[in-house]
Structure 1
Amino acid sequence: MNALFSWLGRTDLDKMKQSAPAAIASLALNHEVPFDKIIVMANTWEGEWDKYRSWLELTLERAGRPCHDIKIISAQITSPIDYTSINIEAERWLNKLSNSSEHVAINLTSGTPAMIAMTVLIGKGKSNTHFYQVTPENKVLFVDIPLDFGKEYVRSASKNVASKAVSKPGKAQSFDLITAESPVMAAIISQAERLAKTDVLGFGAG
């Protein structure tokens, strides 16, 4: 089974009113392999969902494409820019589609930047997902996202840890922060400071 995953965009609805395709419809009409299932996530404009779904079904039927499994899902998100709730909803449905489909196409044109960003992060973790964008002229473009986000995160985190490990505090400044009231303690600190300047490591190593 081939599936399409998308968020619903305002442009998709506005173009529908002109009987013209936008990103979702263009992908459904022009993708080289017809989609057996289309999942569209939405969290606003509820009054237009049924009309859009009916229009998309009719548009695909006229083009001789599968049109009987199109769902507009109410996304339970806090807001269109809330990454946490968007992540939960996108992961839930992408997991379902990835597990039940041979290929999953992901539309990166519709939706808010937060929706698209989280969808990319989740989709990159699955082997059967592919990303697409649609131009204003309704040209469908395959998007190659070469980054392995997991590896990039580990590499970035490792560099950060290594950088902190090798960056030594200024020795003179460090010893200046130590207060000593007794002559004996002052002498010990002075001796420690002299030893530190020699960068001697591994006392007692045999």
Structure 2
Amino acid sequence: MPKTRILLTWLGQQDVLAEEKGVEGPVAAILASAEWPFDEVRILANNWLDRLEQYEGWLSKRMAGLKRPLKISFREAALESPIDYSGIYQVAREELDHLAANDVRITLNLTSGTPAMIATWLLLGKGVYGTELVQTSWQSGLSSIELPFDISLEYLHHQDGLLGQIASNAPDVDVHFDHIQTHSATMGETIALAKRIALRDIPVVIQGDSGTGKEVVATAIHQASVRASEPFVPVNCGAIPEGLVDSHLFGHVKGAFTGAVSNRKGVFDQAHGGTLFLDEVGELPLDAQAKLLRVLQEKEVMPVGASRAHKTDVRIIAATHRDLLAMVEAGDFREDLFYRLAVGLLSLPPLRSRQEDIPDLVRRLMEQLNQEARTQPGYKSKKISKNAINFICSQPWPGNIRELWNTLVRASVWSDGDCLERHHIEKAMIKRGPAVSHLGQRRDVSQGVDISKIVDETKVYYIKEALKLTAGQKVKAARLLGISNHQTLSNWINQLGISDTDY
């Protein structure tokens, strides 16, 4: 009688997001592509526990559709962190002991989970239990792994060092950056550095203009890191109301202040074990910067109103469109916090500095747009002409990739045809006023200029930009604009006729 075939696997982020992304994910791909159908898949989950039922339903339906129905079972594995080698080893050993005792045929998935989890499968799967090892990728499909040696049990006594070494050399880092393709030498160097930084559990600062893709790179770093199976929590520091910064970052206890009707976790606790992405970190007030520095130094947080601090384990990736060193010199950003954060430092070039990337970027954005809009009533999938791409390449795109994306969306909505031409793009572009189009340029005074109008146009532009960055918070916007009193800013807004809808 043939042995029962069981796939034993950790649950990875790509598995959980498979349904909403319209892809299979590693676990489903292995189950669908294996030469012989599996009888059971045993999934170890240390995160996304609230989505297990949904994932089970989707996976079961997927396998039934392929006429490969199987038993799906889960084990919730409590781990201290993604690199909790001892915890990972204990869970893996217990599962393998149990399955081996039942004399089943075990296959281990080397694609899902953190590098530490995968390394543990390697050590136990080949060194102790003699299991089959498989991995899958969209480039190569399903493949079996044959190691040219046995891993002796004695190495398990030194698992921290071995697992750390294997994790540092994890072979699948590139897959998380594949969507950030580039022909630009500057961008290529930046992505190559990001890949190296991803595997080192260090804080990172990403600098770049608005819309250059800082969160995209931060997400790729997280997904390629040892914390990939844990939460990625993005926070826009510029949009946090100034009086609630401490509560938002560190949490609060019930009754800490008016309106605190229950305990609330801060973003540090929400990201525990994973990555906390602090976007626009330069907008944090100085007192919040001091508390953030303490958290980084002590690795513990004190919720507002609490009597005792508790430990936290997060990796910080901070991003800003501002020059933090210039802010340090001006006294607006703490020097000790800057050097604490900027262990890994990346600078993303603006789109105008990577013209050679624009044609491929436009095509990928169009593919994404067509995919996301395919279910909308009356939408026709669209291509984009060479003339339209050439026109796009000739534009400065001060809003970078974000502005380009929004322009393509508008053009696709306004066009009834199946191909976007140059005139569609021109019509969809935001028409910038003289203050924007002439920023950094000289005007011909010999033809006469209205200097009061130029000043007002400049004020309107920068006030709107500051209010957009701060989610309409006038105190923070005034600080960005170098205005000492936010009431002065309010007066300007009224005088210049700027409305709430403008930002």
TM-score (norm 1): 0.69
| Counterpart-to-counterpart distance in 1, 2:78 and 2:122 | 19
Q: 1:85 to 1:19 in 2, by over 3 A?
A: same
Q: Deviations over 1:138-189 (max 9, x none)?
A: 71011112221117859xxxxxxxxxxxxxxxxxxxxxxxxxxxxxxxxxxx
Alignment correspondent of 1:25: 28
Alignment correspondent of 2:6: 3
| Counterpart-to-counterpart distance in 2, 1:105 and 1:50 | 23
| Counterpart-to-counterpart distance in 1, 2:112 and 2:55 | 14
Alignment correspondent of 1:47: 50
Bigger CA drift: 129-138 or 46-55? 129-138
Total equivalences in the alignment: 152
Alignment correspondent of 2:117: 115
Alignment of 1:191-202 (within 5 A): none
Q: Tell me which amino acid in the other structure corresponds to 2:49.
A: E
Alignment correspondent of 1:78: 80
Q: CA deviation at 1:97?
A: 1.9
Q: 1:24 to 1:101 in 2, by over 3 A?
A: farther
Q: Deviations over 1:93-121 (max 9, x none)?
A: 12222232431111000000111111211
Alignment of 1:1-206 (within 5 A): 1-67=4-70, 69-124=71-126, 125-127=128-130, 129-137=131-139, 139-150=141-152, 153=155
| Counterpart-to-counterpart distance in 1, 2:68 and 2:135 | 20
Q: Tell me which amino acid in the other structure corresponds to 1:13.
A: V
Q: Tell me which amino acid in the other structure corresponds to 2:64.
A: E
Q: CA deviation at 1:7?
A: 0.5
| Counterpart-to-counterpart distance in 2, 1:19 and 1:101 | 36
Q: CA deviation at 1:77?
A: 1.8
| Counterpart-to-counterpart distance in 2, 1:153 and 1:19 | 41
Three-state SS of the structure 2 residue aligned to 1:117 is helix
Q: CA deviation at 1:61?
A: 0.6
| Counterpart-to-counterpart distance in 1, 2:25 and 2:45 | 16
Q: Which runs of 5+ in 1 are unaligned?
A: 155-206
Q: Tell me which amino acid in the other structure corresponds to 1:73.
A: R
Q: Tell me which amino acid in the other structure corresponds to 2:106.
A: V
Three-state SS of the structure 1 residue aligned to 2:17 is helix
Q: Deviations over 1:51-81 (max 9, x none)?
A: 11111011001111122x1012101222211
Q: CA deviation at 1:19?
A: 3.5
Q: Deviations over 1:11-48 (max 9, x none)?
A: 11112213321110011111111111111111111111
Three-state SS of the structure 2 residue aligned to 1:106 is strand
Alignment correspondent of 1:170: none
Q: Which runs of 5+ in 2 are unaligned?
A: 157-503
Alignment correspondent of 2:333: none
Q: Tell me which amino acid in the other structure corresponds to 2:59.
A: L
| Counterpart-to-counterpart distance in 2, 1:117 and 1:7 | 12
Moved over 3 A (4+): 151-154
TM-score (norm 2): 0.29
Q: Tell me which amino acid in the other structure corresponds to 1:107.
A: N
Tell me, yes or no, if the aligned pair for 1:43 and 1:76 is still in contact at 8 Å: yes
Q: 1:57 to 1:80 in 2, by over 3 A?
A: same
Alignment correspondent of 2:272: none
After superposition, the CA RMSD in angstroms is 1.9
| Counterpart-to-counterpart distance in 2, 1:20 and 1:143 | 23
Alignment correspondent of 1:196: none
Whichever of the two has the greater Rg, that structure is 1
Tell me, yes or no, if the aligned pair for 1:3 and 1:101 is still in contact at 8 Å: no
Q: 1:152 to 1:82 in 2, by over 3 A?
A: closer
Three-state SS of the structure 2 residue aligned to 1:73 is strand
Q: 1:52 to 1:82 in 2, by over 3 A?
A: same
Q: 1:151 to 1:74 in 2, by over 3 A?
A: closer
Question: How many percent of aligned residue pairs carry the same amino acid?
Answer: 32
